[in-house]
Amino acid sequence: MRKEIIKIPDVGSDQVEVIEICVAVGDVVAEEDSLVVLESDKASMEVPSPKAGKIAAILVSSGQQVGKDDDLIELEMTSEDESAIGGAAGGAADEAVADVHADVEGEGAREPQAGSAEVTQSAPVLEQRAQTVEVPDVGTEDAVDVIEVCVSEGDEVAEGDSLIVLESDKASMEIPAPYAGKVESISLKVGDSAKRGDVILKMLAQAPAAEEKAPSGHQASSNQGDSSQAKSSSQSQSVAAANAPLKSAENAAQAVPPTPGGEVYAGPAVRKLAREFSIDLKAVEGSGPKGRIVKEDLQNYVKNLVENKPVAGAASGSGIPAVPEVDFSAFGDIEKEPLSKLNKLTAANMHRSWLNVPHVTQFDDADITELETFRKSLKSEAEKKGVKMTPLPFLLKACAAALRANPKFNASLADSGESIVYKRYVHIGIAVDTPAGLVVPVVRDVDKKSLWELAEETAELASKAKERKLKPQDMQGGCFTISSLGGIGGQGFTPIVNTPELAILGVSKLTTKPVWDGNAFVPREMLPLSLSYDHRAINGADAGRFFTFLAEALSDIRRLLL
């Protein structure tokens, strides 16, 4: 068995970063299998194996900066490959990446230096002109997939704005607008295949006057055959997008960032895989450098989808007919704004809980007349301590005691619903309404803390939440959640369980109600509570016991001492 060192091929930049290692020592790879993904500030590219063989050693690490001819992989050849590889290690990779390099730099890098220099030196006279924008040389004669169309008819685009994203099996590339102007019609759609010379779109462009543009434009599109020549002699002109005559080679390359659409950051192989599984990459969290989505992220995403399937095989959302999109502007003026990341995350969590958890909600009023008298008596002491004693610390304390007394509520389902995990700690989340959306910081060891400590900690967590200063660990590990809308209003609501917890307490606005004491109606301070729980793990009788305990503890807080 002979070993070959595979080297980093020419990637068009001095130094690039290794952002993904696609193989492990011992892996058997076929020719063209991806070894690593490299990334410059202009593009991400996969380096294919020049030969079949077994990975003997990986000579780079993720995050490392590498350059041409640096050692990449030690490959152990199978016997038939030994004779074939000769001295040409890295040759195939060089070729493949040369393709990518060509994709990245575009025609502008290879040809029209003179043209671009010429135009940039003398300020062009711009005029409005119909332009047909065509697919430039993308480094392969084969058709490549249109994976994204970034503009719509009628859009005003600036020079360099992305028009479409193309993807070969080696790289994805954005095709920038050669001119600023208005998109008049689009000829390609997602899923189409396109190759050099195909029409992408027609635009009314701010283009240089014909006589100024001609030299570089013609030069750049001279390989495009008769059709483009015929078009250029007509009123409108054709130009290959990446051959924008006003663009220097460097600009053309910069117009190919590694983030097609600006929203999803993933390499071609990951995108391909996502398409095969119909996964919307926008829903996948990237764990790679700069949030890049790597194959493991897709695997974890799919694994989560599979594992979160409801235990009894009930519908998990798939197969549920989607709500049709409505054009609200047909009925009057509208304003549309994108949801914040937090809003989207909350929406996804709520949806998942709603679909997975069979919810039951029970209601009760806790008589907190005495609690309120006591709480109000603490007012001046609280002021001295610089804290506000709201009903929340009492609720936390009472819930902690109820959770200790009813361990089924201080638990989570595990092993796809085959087991239940009882927690020996009592950490309680509090829903906090912030301008950016809903967050749930967690108060740890509630059962071990005093009311003053809880008042201080909840105020601190709430203000951190509102200032978006919470760390991920501040929001993890909760056993149960309290959602208090008491300071805002409402008589009752049905909170959604914050999975994987099993129950949540909704607190509404305290009101003075007439309560029959056996002889007469007396005014009492009644706190409306709603308890939602996962009916797979908790039944109505359990909930009744929990609720009775809680209401009694709040009615007579001396009980918390028992």
Site residues, ligand CAO (CB under 6 A): 388, 390-392, 430-433, 438, 458, 462, 483-487, 495, 507, 509-510, 527
- Determine phi and psi for 514, rounding to 5 degrees: -80, 120
C-alpha closest to that of 164 among 127, 207, 116, 198: 198
∠ CA(199), CA(203), CA(209), 5° rounding? 110
Q: Which residue is nearest to ligand CAO (CB)?
A: 486
Active site residue 535: yes
* Choice between 53 and 495, CB closer to ligand CAO: 495
Pairing outcome for strands 162-167 and 172-176:
antiparallel
- Cβ closest to ligand CAO, residue 248 vs residue 494: 494
Tell me the closest approach of the beta carbon of residue 499 to ligand CAO, in angstroms: 14
**Active-site hit among 351, 359, 427, 535:** 535
Nearest to 479 by CA among 417, 402, 403: 403
Residues 208 and 51: their CA atoms lie apart, in Å, by 48
Using DSSP's 3-state secondary structure scheme, residue 371 falls into helix
Give the type of residue at 186.
Answer: I
Kindly state the smallest distance separating residue 479's Cβ from ligand CAO, in Å.
17
Q: How far is the CB of 367 from ligand CAO (least distance, A)?
A: 13
Minimum distance, C-beta of residue 246 to ligand CAO, in the bound complex (Å): 52
Beta strands 428-430 and 442-443 are antiparallel
Q: What is each CA distance from 229 to 121, 198, 239, 459, in whole angstroms?
A: 26, 14, 10, 71
Q: What are the C-alpha distances in Å from 283 to residues 125, 176, 302, 304?
A: 45, 26, 11, 12
Nearer to ligand CAO, 93 or 507 (CB): 507
Choose between 177 and 465: whose C-beta lies nearer to ligand CAO: 465
Residue 240 or 432: which CB sits closer to ligand CAO? Answer: 432
Residue 86's SS3 state is coil
Least separation in angstroms between CB 505 and ligand CAO: 11
Cβ closest to ligand CAO, residue 22 vs residue 431: 431
Cβ-Cβ contacts under 8 Å for 64 (sequence gap 6 or more) = 17, 18
Which CB sits closer to ligand CAO, 394 or 546? 394
Query: Nearest approach, Cβ of 445 to ligand CAO (angstroms)?
Result: 19
Return all residues near 164 (Cβ < 8 A) that are at least 6 apart. Answer: 146, 148, 149, 150, 151, 174, 175, 188, 194, 200
Cα separation, 238 vs 201, in Å, equals 10
Least spacing, CB of residue 325 vs ligand CAO, in Å = 25
* 383: phi then psi, degrees, rounded to nearest 5: -60, -40
Cα 401–Cα 405–Cα 411 angle in degrees, nearest 5: 95
Catalytic center residues: 535
